[in-house]
């Protein structure tokens, strides 16, 4: 059988086999290489996004802890200044509990550990002597303290924040403490809330002992997770990223950041499968669009292989002629095979060109924000490198939607997405051709204006702010934006530093009341005036 197949094997079959192998090998190699590169980019970006998210939440949590300590310190100072009666102590405990909703309960305890006042009173601890871990720690330390998670005298899993009460003579009188209940809705739930995504992403908080203080799965709260390398890093004060399998053996991309003031750590995680889901969809689309072209190319290769073999077949037939003249006439009538070879090459090149075009579309998707069509942070980094190489002056406008969380909470995340797209559309309308528009993340945007000075950038930013305030978003009442402006090289520093200066100006606009444009302080430009408050009816 093999000998029979060998005898039937001709040049056309060999050329066809070679063409098919070359085409499929080139297709597979190019497709696989592009897939691997884009996959690594997506994973790296997801890790960095989780790290930034964890750092942002860590900063918010640090601010809350400092604020809570300040509240308790002021109360301790008042309580130590002069003696208070029982009603006054209860009033002070009531004020601490209800002033900011920072605590689930408040206690005022004397130097022997006896409860002088407690809120809420339903805890029934007034007059009792505490012997819990948190009470002993506060009495022994006699200084500001944040405890690890422990079970309180009332049976709640809590974290205690305490401040010592000192008399005018410096004598230790006791302490005032606020408790955060970990298994009930409280300040940690308000600060951290639910992760924006609904794709298996979540975050959790641990204390310095590795005990979980917050977790979307309430059954995990109070459990110790020190065997987790991420937990070990974050409670050691480290911030960073890591790919790891969680307790359910799900492959996760984690970013983590410490909260040094409390000794806590925050970890944000997203499943690898969710990160790659969009890329898998795009990959399947590329395959679906490319396979017909590959099939067409294979058919062309089969036809061209016949054309390549035809001249040699005709030559073999011609040499079988007995008459020399007839053989010469037959050879003269054979067309050269170079034309057919060029056609085959052209067919293969066209097939590969089509594949490259599809992969180019995949690359474009990797640098584009899918919701708004604006560029993403990867494209921003590439643009800055290009401008840096060309020493291109430019201005930066950092933009943030005011009170965006309120929009999501009031109208839902679908309405929030419409607001994001609405702001992107207004950015395009208020920008120039050649300006670089970027969605930096969430409700934050950047406009990079090449060849634009700081004064002109202020006018563009103010025009965008006014258009936003005057144009209601679909399905939502009017929203406003705050803007920060910086310019390179007018603002001192590197290109990357100018982005930070624009961001700092943006936060200055937030602190000054929102809905305004603020320039980087080093530019010596006047900030755009804040619009007057609307008059009330009548």
**Domains detected in the chain:** 2-44+275-366 (no CATH), 51-57+186-273 (3.30.450.20), 66-181 (3.30.450.20), 377-523 (3.30.70.270)
pLDDT at 15: 66
pLDDT tens for each residue of 5-24 = 555 656 566 666 776 777 77
Written as six digits, the tokens of 155 are 């049976």
Phi, psi of 397 (to 5 degrees): -120, 115
- Of 147-151, 185-189, 235-239, 292-296, give the lowest mean pLDDT range: 185-189
What's the pTM value of the predicted model, to 2 decimals? 0.50
* pLDDT, position 241: 92
For residue 33, name the pLDDT band (cuts at 50, 70, 90). Answer: confident
Task: Give the separation between CA 228 and CA 435, rounded to whole angstroms.
Answer: 46
pLDDT at residue number 310: 66
- Kindly report each contact of residues 491-495 with a partner whose C-beta sits within 8 Å and lies 24 or more positions away, as own/partner: 491/454, 491/520, 491/522, 491/523, 492/522, 495/384, 495/387, 495/388
Assess whether pLDDT exceeds 90 at residue 283: no
Q: Return phi, psi of residue 350, to 5°.
A: -65, -40
Is residue 445 within 8 Å of residue 439, measured between CB atoms? yes
Rounded percentage of the chain residues whose pLDDT exceeds 70: 82
Is the pLDDT at 406 greater than 60, yes or no?
A: yes
Cβ atoms of residues 113 and 135 within 8 Å: yes
How many degrees, rounded to 5, is the angle at CA 213 between CA 212 and CA 216? 85
Percent residues over pLDDT 90 in the chain? 23
**Mean of pLDDT over the chain:** 81
332 Ramachandran zone, left/alpha/beta (phi>0; psi -120 to 50): alpha
Helix, strand, coil % (nearest 5) of the chain?
A: 55, 20, 30
Alpha carbons 214 and 236: distance in angstroms, whole number? 18
The confidence score (pLDDT) of residue 353 equals 41
Cβ neighbours around 352 below 10 Å, total: 17
Q: Tell me the β-bridge partners of 205.
A: 214, 266
Question: pLDDT band at residue 400, thresholds of 50, 70 and 90?
Answer: very high
Least confident of 9-13, 24-28, 415-419, 438-442: 9-13
Per-residue pLDDT band at 351 (split at 50, 70, 90): very low
Stretch 333-346: mean pLDDT: 51
The span from the CA of 318 to the CA of 335, in Å, is 13
Q: Which of 105-109, 186-190, 244-248 has the highest mean pLDDT?
A: 105-109
Q: What is the mean pLDDT of residues 147-174?
A: 85
Question: For residue 340, what pLDDT is reported?
Answer: 45
Asked which of 19-28, 93-102, 136-145, 355-364 is least confident by mean pLDDT, the reply is 355-364
Does the pLDDT at position 359 exceed 70?
A: no
pLDDT > 90? residue 306: no
Q: 238 or 18: whose pLDDT is higher?
A: 238
């Amino acid at each position: 059988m093999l000998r029979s197949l060998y005898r039937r094997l001709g040049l056309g079959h060999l050329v066809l086999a070679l063409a098919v192998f070359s085409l499929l090998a080139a297709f597979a190699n190019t497709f696989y290489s592009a897939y691997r590169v884009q996959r690594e980019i997506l994973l790296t970006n997801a890790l960095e996004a989780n790290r930034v998210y964890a750092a942002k939440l860590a900063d918010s949590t640090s601010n809350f802890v400092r604020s809570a300590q300040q509240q308790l310190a002021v109360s301790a100072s008042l309580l130590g200044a002069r003696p208070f009666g029982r009603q006054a102590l209860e009033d002070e405990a009531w004020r601490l509990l209800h002033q900011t909703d920072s605590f689930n309960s408040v206690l005022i305890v004397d130097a022997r550990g006896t409860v002088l006042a407690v809120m809420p009173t339903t805890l029934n601890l007034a007059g009792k002597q505490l012997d819990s871990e948190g009470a002993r720690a506060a009495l022994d330390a006699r200084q500001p303290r944040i405890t690890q998670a422990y079970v309180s005298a009332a049976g709640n899993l809590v974290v205690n924040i305490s401040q010592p009460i000192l008399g005018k003579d410096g004598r230790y009188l006791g302490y005032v403490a606020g408790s955060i209940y970990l298994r009930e809705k409280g300040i940690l739930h308000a600060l951290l809330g639910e992760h924006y995504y609904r794709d298996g992403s979540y975050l959790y908080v641990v204390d310095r002992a590795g005990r979980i203080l917050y977790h979307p799965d309430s059954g995990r709260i109070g459990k110790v997770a020190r065997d987790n390398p991420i937990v070990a890093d974050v409670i050691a004060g480290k911030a960073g990223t890591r790919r790891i399998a969680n307790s359910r053996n799900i492959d996760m991309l984690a970013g983590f950041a410490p909260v040094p003031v409390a000794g806590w750590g925050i970890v944000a995680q997203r499943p690898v499968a969710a990160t790659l889901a969009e890329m898998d969809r795009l990959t399947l689309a590329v395959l679906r669009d490319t396979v017909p072209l590959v099939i067409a190319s294979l058919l062309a290769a089969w036809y061209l292989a016949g054309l390549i073999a035809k001249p040699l077949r005709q030559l073999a037939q011609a040499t079988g002629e007995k008459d020399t003249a007839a053989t010469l006439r037959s050879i003269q009538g054979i067309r050269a095979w170079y034309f057919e070879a060029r056609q085959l090459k052209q067919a293969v090149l066209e097939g590969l060109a089509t594949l490259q075009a599809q992969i180019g579309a995949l690359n474009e998707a990797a640098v584009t924000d899918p919701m708004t069509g604006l560029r993403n942070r990867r494209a921003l980094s590439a643009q800055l490198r290009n401008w840096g190489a060309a020493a291109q002056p430019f201005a930066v406008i950092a933009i943030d939607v005011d009170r965006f969380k309120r929009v999501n909470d009031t109208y839902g995340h679908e309405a929030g997405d419409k607001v994001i797209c609405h702001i992107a559309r207004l950015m395009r309308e208020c920008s120039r051709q050649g300006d670089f528009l970027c969605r930096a993340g969430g409700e934050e945007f950047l406009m990079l204006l090449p060849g634009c000075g700081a004064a002109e950038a202020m006018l563009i930013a103010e025009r965008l702010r006014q258009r936003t305030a005057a144009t209601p978003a679909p399905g939502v009442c009017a929203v406003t934006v705050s803007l920060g402006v910086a310019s390179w090289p007018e603002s001192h520093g590197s290109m990357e530093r100018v982005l930070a200066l624009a961001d700092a100006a943006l936060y200055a606009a937030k602190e000054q009341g929102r809905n305004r444009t603020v320039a980087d302080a080093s530019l010596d430009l006047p900030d755009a005036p804040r619009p007057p408050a609307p008059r009330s009816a009548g």
